[in-house]
Amino acid sequence: MSHQALWSWSALKIRDAVRGKAISATEVVKAHLDRIDAINPQINAIVTLVPDLALAQAREIDAAIDRGETLGPLAGVPVAHKDLTLTQGIRTTFGSKLFADFIPTRDAEIVARMKAAGAITLGKTNTPEWGAGSQTFNDIFGVTRNPYDRSKTAGGSSGGAAAALAARLVPLCDGSDFGGSLRNPASFCNVVGFRTTPGRVPIVPSENPEDPLPIAGPMARTVDDCALLLSVISGAHDQAPLSSLAEQLFEPPISVGAGPSKIAFSADFSGQIPVDPQVIDCLRRVRACFQEIGCEVTNDCPDLAGANDAFHILRASSFARRHGEGVRRNPRDYKQTIVWNVEAGLALTNADLQRGLQRQADLIERFRVFFKRYDFLVTPVVQVPPFDAALEYVTEINGQPMQTYIEWMQSCSVFSVTGLPALSLPAGFTSNGLPVGLQIIGKSRADLAVLQLAKAFETINPIWQQAPVF
């Protein structure tokens, strides 16, 4: 069989075709390597490629099929891992020149689970230095460009993953999210990114395993493929204290849910957060889709007072813990925005930390009450469309100045503070062809319900099928 178009297939279609011997895992890998060779130089999404390893893994899977062995749920599916994620024997730089040649001796737990499920590793995806900021660039590999407009950013910090998915270089990627690092690039690149409930996917190893703000999660082009990866990487781990969640079954195909849902819909956060008119217009155009699938839709948004302050305090504290010593020794080893974030964390007083925790607690309580009236909240993912790749970050929205490199991402970060599951889903395009995503926020631990609503929306609005043109 010609392998020319295999790079456009979904992960589920590849998995089932390999199992059924309609195609071989080797054909699949060769097709994706050819696609990477042709397209990746234009967008710089995959920064470390391991073709020999990938072909060896593919041949092992083909041999196992010939022997009649039982296959894992990702057998034959190509994947790429974020360059923050440890991969044994494969360079992992964290986007930092300090680790430009670092080769780990172990896999992160999510990588180990994907390998055990039969996934084939093609390489690593680009990320900003230490995953800081929603614009993917660093001093080692440079900038990752948006497949829909190469003059624009792919977002971040999982920008390499989102761009690779959109460009059909791989069907599945892992990502991570602190203040929007899965959701922002998914929105900018017309793919799916799921910030799951903290602990749903164990982060092992971790320098601070009890911190609920950083999460690892799945990225894909479709909801079913996202669920497929989540079914593999979720589950408890004895080194991840937040992972003791009741198990949920995420195996696709995801059902569209039972019965009507009550949705709070806000294209502009009721004026609490500035949003570009192009984003507002795009979301308002798809509001009726939720009514079409049987949902009761009400324009509403919870009170977000104090959420941004809480996030800034908690993030600064986290950066000071992780990078404080390195910045003290030699600040020139870090980009300026990281130095600023670390210094902000080091300057925090006990009163500041208590204020941040109290505002987080107040926000969580307001959302608990809010979700007594609704099943979901739907909002923009990002406050702006993809912007010029030469800019480090957005400095103003609708005439309102952004004071820091993370303030323009409040639309994601305020929901990180709540601990609620939040998924970025392709919604549409601006008038000049730039992707816009919508964000589905669910009730506490309702990850499966979020996927079900996303699947229902995707079924009647399959905008993900609009691929970039190269």
What span, in angstroms and rounded, lies between the C-alpha atoms of 372 and 375? 8
State the number of CA atoms in the 13 A half-sphere of 373 facing the CB: 13
Q: Classify 251 as helix, strand or coil.
A: coil
Taking the whole predicted model, whether its pTM rises above 0.85 is answered as: yes
Given 3-state DSSP classes, what are the helix, strand and coil percentages for the chain, each rounded to the nearest 5?
Answer: 40, 15, 40
Helix (H) or strand (E) holding 440: strand 435-442
What span, in angstroms and rounded, lies between the C-alpha atoms of 383 and 267? 10
Give domain limits for the chain: 6-465
Question: Per residue in 42-67, pLDDT tens?
Answer: 999 999 999 999 999 999 999 999 99
Tokens of 466: 């609009």
Residue 174 has pLDDT above 80, yes or no: yes
Q: Closest by alpha carbon to 454, among 444, 466, 468, 442? A: 442
Which range (245-254, 412-421, 423-432) has the least confidence? 245-254
Residue 421 sits at the vertex; the CA angle it makes with 323 and 147, to the nearest 5 degrees, is: 75
Q: Closest by alpha carbon to 212, among 375, 444, 409, 451? A: 444
Decide if 261 contacts 376 (C-beta within 8 A): yes
Helix axis angle, 447-460 to 223-233, nearest 10°: 160
> Rounded mean pLDDT of 335-343?
97
Determine the residue type at 10.
S
Topology of domain 6-465, per CATH? Answer: Amidase signature (AS) enzymes (3.90.1300)
pLDDT averaged over every residue in the chain: 96
Question: What are the CA-CA distances from residue 37 to residues 43, 51, 147, 168 (Å)?
Answer: 11, 11, 15, 12
What span, in angstroms and rounded, lies between the C-alpha atoms of 42 and 227? 29
Measured from the Cβ of residue 392, the count of other Cβ atoms closer than 10 Å reads: 16
Q: Name the percent of the chain lying above pLDDT 70.
A: 99
Q: Classify 388 as helix, strand or coil.
A: strand
The torsion of the CA quartet 364, 183, 77, 120, rounded to 10 degrees, works out to -90
What local confidence, expressed as pLDDT, does residue 429 receive? 98
Q: List CB contacts of 394: < 8 A, sequence separation 6 or more.
A: 383, 384, 387, 402, 408
What local confidence, expressed as pLDDT, does residue 114 receive? 98
Identified catalytic residue from 10, 24, 157, 416: 157
Helix (H) or strand (E) holding 429: strand 422-429
Question: Per residue in 224-244, pLDDT tens?
Answer: 999 999 999 999 999 999 997
> Rounded mean pLDDT of 17-30?
97
Residue with tokens 């929603």: 134
Q: List CB contacts of 193: < 8 A, sequence separation 6 or more.
A: 158, 162, 175, 177, 182, 183, 185, 186, 187, 217, 218, 219, 423, 424
The answer to whether 176 is a known catalytic residue is: no
> Rounded mean pLDDT of 445-452?
96
Helix (H) or strand (E) holding 109: helix 109-116
The answer to whether 261 is a known catalytic residue is: no
Residue 29 has pLDDT above 90, yes or no: yes
Q: Closest by alpha carbon to 124, among 100, 155, 146, 147? A: 100
Phi, psi dihedrals of residue 218, rounded to the nearest 5°: -90, 150
> Rounded mean pLDDT of 65-88?
97
**Taking the CA atoms of the chain, what radius of gyration do you get in angstroms?**
21
What local confidence, expressed as pLDDT, does residue 3 receive? 56
Identified catalytic residue from 24, 30, 82, 411: 82
Residue 260 has pLDDT above 90, yes or no: no
Determine the residue type at 293.
I
Residue with tokens 């923050």: 84
State the number of CA atoms in the 13 A half-sphere of 1 facing the CB: 15
The answer to whether 181 is a known catalytic residue is: yes
What local confidence, expressed as pLDDT, does residue 425 receive? 98
Q: Classify 418 as helix, strand or coil.
A: helix
DSSP state of 267: S
> Rounded mean pLDDT of 136-144?
98
Phi, psi dihedrals of residue 2, rounded to the nearest 5°: -65, 135
Residue 366 has pLDDT above 70, yes or no: yes
What local confidence, expressed as pLDDT, does residue 244 receive? 76
DSSP state of 446: -
Identified catalytic residue from 181, 187, 411, 413: 181
Residue 400 has pLDDT above 50, yes or no: yes
Residue 1 has pLDDT above 80, yes or no: no
